[in-house]
Amino acid sequence: MQTRTETLASLYLDGFFDIPSYQRSYSWEESQLEDLIDDLRYLPEESNHFFGNIILDKKDEQYKTDRGRRFDVYDVVDGQQRLTTALIFLHVATQFDDVVDETVSEDNLIFPVDERPRLMPQDQDGEFFRDCLFGSASLECETPSQERLEYAKEYFESEFEDLPVREISERLRYDCKINVVEIDSDSEAASIFESLNDRGKPLSSLDKMKSFLMYMDDRSSNRGALETKIKQRFGSIYRELFVLSNGHDRVSDFDEDSVQRFHWGIYDGYDSDEYFSSLDTLKDRLRERYRNGEYDSVQGEIDEYTQNLREAASAFAALFNPSQRPDEVKSALRRLLALGRVANVLPVLMAAQMEYGDDEPDKMADIIQACETLVFRVYATDSRRSDTGRGRLVRLAHSIHSDDSYLFEDVLNRLDSITRIYTDDDRFERNLRDPEFYDSMSSQDIRYLLYHYGERLGIDMHEDVQPNLEQILSTDFEVEHILARGLDEEHIPENLREDFEDNFHRLGNLTIASSYWNKSLSDLPFTKKKNAEGRREKEYKSSVIRVQQILATYEQFGRDELEEREQKIIDFALEEWGIASEPQPSGGSGTSGDSDEVEYDSLPDSFFRRLTNRQEAFIRVLLEEDGWVVNQEIRQRMEDEYDLSSGGSRAVSGIISGFTRKYSNDFTWNLVNYRTTVRGTEYRLNPDSGYIEELRERLVAASDES
C-alpha cells in the first residue's frame, strides 16, 4: 500500500480511472453539489482545500491506443463521487470560459484520447457518461444515477452564470489537495470498500449488497467466476429502479432498500429479525459457508440471489407503471395505488407479478383486487397498525414464489383469510356504522369509498359524469356533511333534533363536494343545497359529482333518509370489498383430472370461488325464472329465501357493480341484462351469453344433489 499527496490536476494526469463493478452508482444530489461550489467560492486566497482520501487500485494491464500510446489504469475504490463530479465541473467550465477551455485541452484533462474520458462509470452508465454528458448524443436517462449525472451538469450550467468560473476552476485543479492511497489487489479493494461502507458511508443497503457479493465471489472462486453475471444483473436492477424517479406518484413511499427488503421476504420467507436486515443475514450465511469450505454453495447462493433480485426489481417496476400493463391489471392497479398503504401487500404483488405477470392478466387483476379489499378493510376502515398482517403477507409471497403446489386459488383464499382474521364482515360493517365515522377515517379514505359508491350509481343510470378518482382524492375536493352542524334548529329535521349531534358524523350524512363548494355552501339547509335558484352550479341537482347529484332526488333528508342511504352504502361496500364467506378448495373449478364434471372455460377461472353470498343469491333467483324479474321481487326473495338483508332499492345495482369491479363492464353486460319499465328496474340472465347452463349446473344442480 502506497500513499502520496497530489492536486486534482496532477492526479487526473496519472492515467485513466474506472469505477469498478462493486462500487455504487453516482449518487450526488443538489446539497452535495452546492457544498462543493461553496467550498471553492469561499476558499481563502493562497489556501488549500483538503479534497479527502482517494483510494486507487492500479491494474496490471495498461490502456493502449491504436497509435501505441499507453496509460496506467486505476480502479477507484473510494472517492468516485468526488472525482466524477469534479470532471463534470471542469467540462461545464470549459463551455463558459475560453481560458479554462484552452488550458484543460492543453493538459488533456478530460479527453486524453478520443475513445474515452479520463474517468468512466460502471457499465450501465458508461455510454451515457461518455456520449451524452461529454458528447453530443441525445440519450434518454435509463437509471437514477444517469438522471443524477445529468442533473449535476445542468446544476453547474445554471450556477456558472453568476460565478467567476475561471477562478473557481483553478482552485479546483490546483488548490484541492488529495491524499492518494494505492492498494495491491482486487480482493483487498473489495474488502476495503466493504469496510468503508460499514463505517457509515451514505450508501443504500442495495449498494452494500452488490459490493459484498462481488467480494465473496472473488474469495470463493477463481478470479470472480460470477463477476460478469453480477455486473449485468445489478445493471438491470438499477435500470428497473429508475421507476423510483419516473413511476406512479405512490412510488415515492419507497426506495432501493424497500425493494431489497420486499425481495428478501419473497426469496427467503419472513423472520421479524431478518426481514429488515437482509444484508447482515446473507453476509452471515455466506461467510459461514465460506469458513466451512463450501465454496460451491457460496457461488450457488450468489447466483440464485442476484438472478432472483433482478426479477423482483422488474416486478416492482411493473407495478408502478400501471399504464403499461394489460387493461384488467391497469384498472385494478390504479385503484389500489390511489388507495395507498400498499407496503405490506407489495411482496405479494411482486411475487404474483413474477408468477403470473402480463401473461395471465385475469389472475393478476384478481390478486390486486383481493389486496385492495384487504388494505381498505384492515388499514383504511379498521385503522389497524401499519405492521398488521405483515408476517402473514410476506409468508404468502414466499409461498407464491417458492411452492410449486401453491395454486392461484390458494393465493386468493389466503388473502381473504388474512382479511377475515383482522376485519371480518361483522367488524367491517360495525366500522361503517360507527356514529363517529367521519372522525374514524381519513378524508381521503371516505372520499375513496364515496367515489366508488358514486360509480355504482353511474352504472345504474348508464352515466359517467364524475371527476376521476385522482381528482376526487386531491385537495380540490372534501367530505361534506349533508346536514351541516351549524344549522338553525328550524332546519334540522324534526326526528333528528333531540340527537342531531349523535347522527352528524354518520356515513349516511356524508358526501363529496368541491373545496370551494364545501367552504361557501356547506352550511346551507338541505332544501337550499338541493335546488339553488339562479345558481345551478351551486346545487346538488347540477353537481357533476354523482354521489352528490343523487341527493337531489330526495324530497327531504331526515333520519329515515339518512339511515336508508347509510344502509345502501354499507351494502355496496360489503359487495365491493367482499370476501368469500369460507375458504374454498383450491384447483379452480374443483374438478380433478379423472372427473366427469364440466370444465369451466367460459366463465373466468375465479368466478365461482369469488361469488359473495349476495351475488350467488342474486344469480339463483334469476336462474329460477325464465324471463325478467323486477328489482323489488329479487330483493324480497333474497331476504325470504336466503336470509340476506335487502339493503334498499339500489342493492341489486351494488351486486352488478361487484361483477364489474372484478371483471369488466363487457363481462357484466354479457352476464346480466336489465331494463327500466313502469314496474321498476328488471333483470335477467342474458340468454345469449352461453353462461346459463354452466351457472345452473354449478349452483342449482349442485345444491339439489346436496
DSSP string, 235-259: HHHHHHTTHHHHS-GGGGG--HHHH
Q: Cell digits for 642?
A: 336466503
Checking if the pLDDT of 156 tops 50, the result is yes
Side-chain-side CA neighbours of 547 within 13 Å: the count stands at: 34
Q: Are residues 148 and 188 in the same domain?
A: yes
CA atoms within a 13 Å half-sphere pointing along the CA-CB vector of 275: 18
Answer yes or no: do 450 and 319 share one domain: no
Instruction: Give me the half-sphere count of Cα atoms (radius 13 Å) on the Cβ side of residue 272.
Output: 6
Please report the pLDDT score of residue 558 as a whole number: 92
- Section 687-697 average pLDDT: 85
What was the pLDDT predicted at 464? 52
Judge if 444 and 558 occupy the same domain: yes
- Residue 581, domain member (yes or no): no
* pLDDT tens digits for range 590-635: 333 333 333 324 687 778 877 877 888 889 999 988 789 988 888 8
CATH code, domain carrying 626: 1.10.10.10
Average pLDDT over residues 147-158: 93
Percent residues over pLDDT 70 in the chain: 88
pLDDT of residue 593: 36
Structural domain contains residue 602:
no
Same domain, 388 and 486: no
Q: How many residues does the chain have?
A: 706
Mean pLDDT of 648-667: 71
Q: Is the pLDDT reported for residue 471 higher than 70? A: yes
Domain edge (last residue) among 139, 167, 197 = 197
Q: Helix, strand or coil for residue 412?
A: helix
* 438 and 400 within one domain: no
Domain co-membership, 226 together with 111? no
User: What's the average model confidence in pLDDT over 472-498?
Assistant: 90
Q: Which domain holds residue 290?
A: 216-404
Residue whose C-alpha cell is 486507487: 56
What pLDDT is attached to residue 497?
Answer: 86
Instruction: Report the predicted TM-score, pTM, of the whole model to 2 decimal places.
Output: 0.70
Average pLDDT value for residue range 114-135: 86
Q: Does any domain span residue 122?
A: yes
pLDDT of 700: 75
- Contact, 455 vs 466, CB < 8 A? yes
Residue 587 lies in a domain: no
| Model pLDDT, residue 197 | 45
Q: How far from 138 is each of 120, 122, 483, CA to CA, in Å?
A: 18, 19, 59
Neighbours of 135 (CB within 10 A): 14
**Confidence band, pLDDT 50/70/90 cuts, at residue 459:** very low
* C-alpha separations of 16 from 12, 23, 104, 182, 696 in Å: 7, 17, 16, 14, 76
Mean pLDDT of 109-124: 85
Q: Per-residue b/e over 611-622, b at no fewer than 16 CB within 10 Å?
A: bbbbbbbbbbbb
Per-residue b/e over 99-120, b at no fewer than 16 CB within 10 Å?
ebeebbeeeebbbbeeebbbbb
- Residue 357: is it exposed, middle or buried by C-beta count within 10 angstroms (0-12/13-18/19+)? middle
Are 120 and 245 in the same domain? no
The reply to whether 142 and 30 lie within a common domain is yes
Residues 479 and 506 in one domain: yes
User: 680: which DSSP letter?
Assistant: E
Question: Is 147 inside a domain boundary?
Answer: yes
189 and 225 together in one domain: no
Q: Could you read off the pLDDT of 504-543 as tens digits, one per residue?
A: 999 999 999 988 877 777 788 898 888 766 554 568 888 8
Q: Pick from 558, 576, 594: which residue ends a domain?
A: 576
The pLDDT confidence band at residue 183, using thresholds 50, 70 and 90, is: confident
Q: Answer yes or no: do 179 and 259 share one domain.
A: no
Both 251 and 340 in a single domain? Answer: yes
Compute the mean pLDDT over every residue in the chain, rounded to the nearest whole number: 85
- Give the pLDDT score at 463: 47
pLDDT for 42 equals 86
- What mean pLDDT comes out for the span 175-185? 82
Alpha-carbon span 609 to 590, nearest angstrom: 10
The total number of structural domains in the chain stands at 4
Out of 197, 229, 255, a domain closes at 197
Q: Is residue 411 part of a domain?
A: no
User: What is the per-residue pLDDT across 4-59, written as a single tens digit (0 to 9) for each?
Assistant: 898 999 998 988 999 887 677 788 989 999 999 998 888 787 778 888 888 888 88
- The two beta strands, 672-677 and 680-685, are antiparallel
Q: What percent of the chain has pLDDT over 90?
A: 43
Residue 593 lies in a domain: no
Taking only the tens place, the pLDDT of each residue in 403-419 is: 988 889 899 999 999 99
Q: Is residue 314 part of a domain?
A: yes
Give residue 52's pLDDT.
82
Q: pLDDT for 274-317, tens place per residue?
A: 899 999 999 999 999 999 999 999 999 999 999 999 999 999 99
